A = this chain, B = another copy of it.
């Protein structure tokens, strides 16, 4: 397996910039989170990578091969899309057969077990299913298709908590059985924090973070206490957000804490989670105290 490289990728619709000069790499056998607000361009990016939409400029390569119209390279990638392209006669069984015809070596055995777990019948027509059932059916295909890069756009749409948990477990199992790269584009950041190793965050049409989750969370500190003490302590640090409740101020920092920084008695230092880091990084002018 070779790296997937996105280089200076730009997409415009007319004058409207959707993605502005994105460069990043996806490594083999790694689970990624692709995070961004509604309308940030995540789905467009996934469609560009799989050549369903053409870029305005820039290139996408697997190893040294440009993916454009290269069926061999495109065959290494699978996109579970938000948009459903199945006809009104397509059964779940047929969806699996199509994935087998296009990518070969589809894992029918594991797929059938997953269908049972999701309480789906493979003879059901896809378009007759509810939102949650459609998502489940698409996940059964995506986790059993034979591709090196599996891109999941909104993989938990409409799923209840039980089926989301089932999906996360099946994803880990699929990854362990056959390490491949998965990219999860989802709004349920709290739930995937433990699952993804690396995140790419898109905001205002650009990449604002491309880093391991662990290294990001190492810089996510919540400093709370009397306002004066908190302000003294956080002076010079990169502050994302502050809130005040009664006499207690909490300042959310995204920065390394200086080792020499003295910890005052009256200030409490906690870590905060990936979902809140994302919110503070992407809220722009929406500071709400």
Contact = CB atoms under 8 A, between A and B. Distances in A.
Interface of A: 37-39, 117, 130, 132, 158-166, 169, 187-191, 275, 278-279, 282-283, 286, 288
Given A117-B288, A288-B117, A288-B166, A161 B132 contact: no
Contact of A161 (B159, B166, B187): B187
Given A169-B288, A190-B190, A191-B190, A162 B132 contact: no
B130 A160 contact: no
A161 B288 contact: no
Contacts of A159: 38, 187
A7 B275 CA distance: 41
A179 to B, nearest CB: 19
Contacts of A164: 187
A161 B185 CA distance: 13
> Do most interface residues of chain A lie in helix, strand or loop, or is the interface mixed?
helix
Nearest to A119: B286
A130 B165 contact: no
Contacts of A189: 161
A286 B166 contact: yes
A204 B115 CA distance: 21
B162 A282 contact: yes
Contacts of A117: 286, 288
A259 to B, nearest CB: 32
A164 B278 CA distance: 13
Given A38-B132, A117-B288, A161-B189, 6 more contacts: A38-B130, A159-B187, A160-B187, A161-B279, A162-B283, A165-B279
Contacts of A188: 188
B279 A162 contact: yes
Most buried by B among A189, A191, A278, A279: A279
A161 B275 contact: yes
Contacts of A37: 160, 162
A286 B190 contact: no
A31 B162 CA distance: 23
Contacts of A282: 162
A190 to B, nearest CB: 6
